[in-house]
A and B are shown apart, each in its own frame.
Chain A
Amino acid sequence: MTDSHSGPFIAAIDQGTTSSRCIIFDRDGRIVAVDQKEHAQIFPKPGWVEHDAAEIWRNVQEVVAGAMVKAGARRDDILAIGITNQRETTMLWDKRTGQPVHNAIVWQDTRTDVLCKQLGGEVGQDRWRRETGLPLAAYFAGPKIAWLLDNVEGLREKAETGDILFGTMDSWVIWNLTGGVNGGVHVTDVTNASRTLLMNLEDLSWNEEIAAEMGVPLQVLPEIRSSSEIYGEVTGGTLGQLLGGVPVASALGDQQAALFGQTCYSVGEAKSTYGTGTFMLMNTGEKLIHSESGLLTTVGYRIGDQDPVYALEGSIAVTGSLVQWMRDQMGLISTAAEIETLAMSVEDNGGAYFVPAFSGLFAPYWRSDARGVIAGLTRYVTKAHIARAVLEATAWQTREISDAMIKDSGDDLVALKVDGGMTSNNLLMQFLADVLDAPVVRPMVAETTCLGAAYAAGLAVGFWNSTDDLRANWRRAAEWTPNMDPELRDREYKNWLKAVERTMGWLED
């Protein structure tokens, strides 16, 4: 490139669902080096998904060392390390040996479905919604801890004596980075803790009553800290030689890290990450909003001892994966990008609407009895119209979540910041701006998740002084402005909602 990078830098570790990565950033928030390594997905039974946490820790050490080499960086160049991670994935380890007692149970794993139903009892899945912001669902960490304690032999006894530690992947990585069995710190941050079903959103502390009901002994739980502060220093092991003494200074769940990396620091600012599924988060500031529309309430981030910033979260199960389905199951396209070519060969959807409720409808409906529907079919409809309907489905689902957020928060959506693979689809991004009637903006650094972790770590060590500094780093790579006749938009939205209606109640009992 035209300019060479020289330190100081911040390193960010992204411990993700399929791989672990390390990205090194410079002061302008530009990427200096990346290293990445995939880990095994373990499927012991249908619906079960596990990771080997020992493999993950090995990979994390490798990618950090790899990124250092690629960046040509020395210890003194790295001012801090930040961490972002797959959320809710749960593990327990023995604090005397440092060994995991079982594979980590991944967020997608559904083994705790029955347990969650039992815990809900008469009240149902909203039993602890008021306290935690979450419905009782298999994703979240608390019930996974209970499952491990009840199903791994002798574990509950060991846990009661205080030898067992629980962590989401942030805790596991931080504990190992800071010395492991030799004095590693056992902490988690507010965003990760807010996905356990065990934390009070109000005062950010463990809820002893819920923990007792769930059968989770308090002594396994880590200390809840902010997302941006020095938890400890890199100590011991292979990384101790390479980076000994470097502060470990941030932790954020991946979606919250993306919110932070997209610099959504003001109330009403929102980001949406378009991958196989989509996660949209809106900053609601110091207001803790209990959703009336089926959104989750979660902690957005907390910087040091400042007030926590809350967020509303809506997720869409099927977006990019619908395009993959068109490619792999239907064979209508040979690469994901071709969906745009096919869709652009026609002017509109030809009256067709595709609601991909493949495993039910998520926010704002939460209907597990729904299944996918293509509505409005006539002889006129071609595969190109269906391709268009596929892309439009992602935009309309975003609109539904955005409507729910606006309703719950009372704030308007000023603009939507987007990231993820589907942002390379120009037709989709324009249609998204059209149906939201708000500008859609893509930032220049696509790696918003790692960037968020780096930003939070850099703030903690004074590499950046304030969120204003970080905003100044943010660069717009593209912006799509709404350009749709309001009447047409309303008519199309009505049709979409009619199609959604038709997915419900497909499964009986």
Chain B
Amino acid sequence: MAKHIQSLERAAAMLRLLAGGERRLGLSDIASALGLAKATAHGILRTLQHEGFVEQDPDSGRYQLGAELLRLGTTYLDVHELRARALVWTDDLARSGGEAVYLGVVHQQGVLIVHHVFRPDDSRQVLEVGAMQPMHSTALGKVLTAFDPVAHAELVDAKREPFTARTLTELPDIERVLERTRAQGYATDMDETWEGVASVAAPIFDRHRLTVGAVGITGAVERMCRDGELRPELVAAVRDTARSVSRDLGAKPF
């Protein structure tokens, strides 16, 4: 018979005990129902509490199931919620960076644009919300693939089209770029998807540090770059924006 981890079995038994209806139980009830020493039961309960699976009523000291448990399984960040949270920050990024800003999430084998802020120059522009961008060549796509294992799995299977002479299509080449993306915390795209267009993007995290999207700024290479490199102040601005949105979503400072 396979060996099971005892403390996990005990934790599971506690959750089942608390799961019947709207039940609140004290420490001694829980300990005696499961035949555990109070100290043992308390240690497990505290761990469950820390993870949000169990909550303690401040008045009675009794335990009940935590909100976190109810969220499990249905827990995904609604993309429209993401847009609502990102709105002010992305406006400010477009304004200070002087270029168009996009917010993207993984959708099937590409990046779905869920929010777009115009370049602030009053020129005619078309809202691109709902459009798809490729995963392997755009800055948004690279960030999502580097930080989200689901996106990474999709990339491996996806058709990787060469859009320009600079597009990387071979997996080992792309993996090297993703490695660098993870190390530096952002990704770039210089002429790799559209000729003459550069962009830089950074990941957005939720409170579990899961990657829920990416934010990036995009514009003409001539304006975005200096001496063949992306302007460092643009990189910093994009990363600041990603951090601000993440903080609004409850991610701890990092």
Q: Which residues of B contact A478 (CB under 8 A)?
A: 116-118, 127
Complex formed: what's the CA distance from A358 to B4 in Å? 58
Of the listed stretches A246-254, A260-268, A269-277, A336-344, name the one at the interface; the rest are far from the partner chain: A336-344
Report the minimum CB–CB distance from B233 to chain A (whole Å).
Answer: 4
B158 at the A interface (CB under 8 A): no
Complex formed: what's the CA distance from A475 to B83 in Å? 19
A1 at the B interface (CB under 8 A): yes
Q: Which of B83, B91, B96, B234 contacts A445 (CB 8 A)?
A: B91
Which parts of A30-48 form the interface with B (CB within 8 Å)?
30-31
A369 at the B interface (CB under 8 A): no
B97 at the A interface (CB under 8 A): yes
B37 at the A interface (CB under 8 A): no
Which parts of A446-496 form the interface with B (CB within 8 Å)?
446, 475-480
B12 at the A interface (CB under 8 A): no
Contact B129 A426 (CB under 8 A): yes
Complex formed: what's the CA distance from A95 to B129 in Å? 56
B95 at the A interface (CB under 8 A): yes
Q: Known: A446-B88, A478-B116. Contact between A337 and B78, CB under 8 A? A: yes
Q: Which of B79, B91, B95, B237 contacts A341 (CB 8 A)?
A: B79
Report the minimum CB–CB distance from A340 to chain B (whole Å).
Answer: 4
A425 at the B interface (CB under 8 A): yes
Contact B84 A444 (CB under 8 A): no
Q: Which of B94, B127, B234 contacts A444 (CB 8 A)?
A: B94
Q: Which residues of A contact B96 (CB under 8 A)?
A: 1-3, 30
Complex formed: what's the CA distance from A222 to B115 in Å? 47
B87 at the A interface (CB under 8 A): yes
A335 at the B interface (CB under 8 A): yes
For A31, A339, A424, A446, the residue with the greatest tally of chain B CB atoms inside 10 Å of its CB is A424
Q: Which residues of B contact A335 (CB under 8 A)?
A: 78, 81
B80 at the A interface (CB under 8 A): yes
Contact A1 B240 (CB under 8 A): yes
Q: Which of A31, A338, A421, A477 contacts B81 (CB 8 A)?
A: A338
Q: Which of B92, B122, B130, B236 contacts A476 (CB 8 A)?
A: B122
CB-CB nearest in chain A for B232:
A2
Q: Known: A30-B95, A341-B80. Contact between A475 and B237, CB under 8 A? A: no
Report the minimum CB–CB distance from B96 to chain A (whole Å).
Answer: 5
Complex formed: what's the CA distance from A425 to B84 in Å? 8
Complex formed: what's the CA distance from A446 to B87 in Å? 9
Q: Which residues of A contact B118 (CB under 8 A)?
A: 475-479
Contact A1 B78 (CB under 8 A): no
Contact B122 A338 (CB under 8 A): no
Report the minimum CB–CB distance from B101 to chain A (whole Å).
Answer: 9
Interface residues on B, range: 20 to 34
Q: Which of A2, A340, A446, A476 contacts B234 (CB 8 A)?
A: A2
Q: Known: A2-B96, A445-B91. Contact between A337 and B83, CB under 8 A? A: yes
Contact B127 A475 (CB under 8 A): no
CB-CB nearest in chain B for A343:
B80
Could you mark each residue 377-417 of chain A with 1 if its beta carbon is under 8 Å from any beta carbon of chain B, else 0?
A: 00000000000000000000000000000000000000000
Complex formed: what's the CA distance from A412 to B146 in Å? 51
Complex formed: what's the CA distance from A446 to B117 in Å? 13
Q: Which residues of A contact B240 (CB under 8 A)?
A: 1
Which parts of B79-112 form the interface with A (CB within 8 Å)?
79-81, 83-84, 87-88, 91-92, 94-97
Contact A2 B91 (CB under 8 A): no
Contact B83 A480 (CB under 8 A): no
Q: Which residues of B contact A341 (CB under 8 A)?
A: 78-80
Q: Known: A2-B97, A480-B127. Contact between A338 and B236, CB under 8 A? A: no
Which parts of B204-225 form the interface with A (CB within 8 Å)?
none
Complex formed: what's the CA distance from A336 to B83 in Å? 12
B120 at the A interface (CB under 8 A): yes
Q: Which of A1, A31, A425, A480 contacts B80 (CB 8 A)?
A: A425
Complex formed: what's the CA distance from A273 to B91 in Å? 18
Report the minimum CB–CB distance from A387 to chain B (whole Å).
Answer: 12
Complex formed: what's the CA distance from A480 to B79 in Å? 19
Q: Which of B83, B92, B125, B234 contacts A479 (CB 8 A)?
A: B125
Could you mark each residue 189-210 of chain A with 1 if its beta carbon is under 8 Å from any beta carbon of chain B, else 0?
A: 0000000000000000000000
Q: Which residues of B contact A476 (CB under 8 A)?
A: 118, 120, 122, 125
Q: Which residues of B contact A31 (CB under 8 A)?
A: 92
Complex formed: what's the CA distance from A339 to B97 in Å? 32
Q: Which residues of B contact A480 (CB under 8 A)?
A: 127
Contact B116 A444 (CB under 8 A): no
Q: Which residues of A contact B79 (CB under 8 A)?
A: 341
Complex formed: what's the CA distance from A421 to B84 in Å? 8
Contact A477 B91 (CB under 8 A): yes
What are the 9 closest A-B residue pairs judged by CB atoms, nearest first? A2-B233, A337-B80, A337-B81, A475-B120, A340-B80, A424-B84, A1-B96, A2-B237, A337-B84
Task: Give the interface of A toward B (CB within 8 A).
Answer: 1-3, 30-31, 335-341, 421, 424-426, 444-446, 475-480
Task: Give the interface of B toward A (CB within 8 A).
Answer: 78-81, 83-84, 87-88, 91-92, 94-97, 115-118, 120, 122, 125, 127, 129-130, 233-234, 236-237, 240
> 14 more A-B contacts (CB under 8 A) besides A3-B233, A426-B83?
A2-B97, A2-B233, A2-B236, A337-B80, A338-B80, A340-B80, A421-B84, A475-B95, A475-B118, A477-B91, A477-B117, A479-B125, A479-B127, A480-B127
What are 27 A-B interface contacts by the 8 Å CB criterion? A1-B92, A2-B97, A3-B233, A30-B92, A31-B92, A337-B80, A337-B84, A338-B80, A340-B80, A341-B79, A421-B84, A424-B80, A424-B83, A425-B80, A426-B80, A426-B115, A444-B94, A446-B87, A446-B91, A475-B118, A475-B120, A476-B120, A477-B94, A477-B117, A477-B118, A477-B120, A479-B118
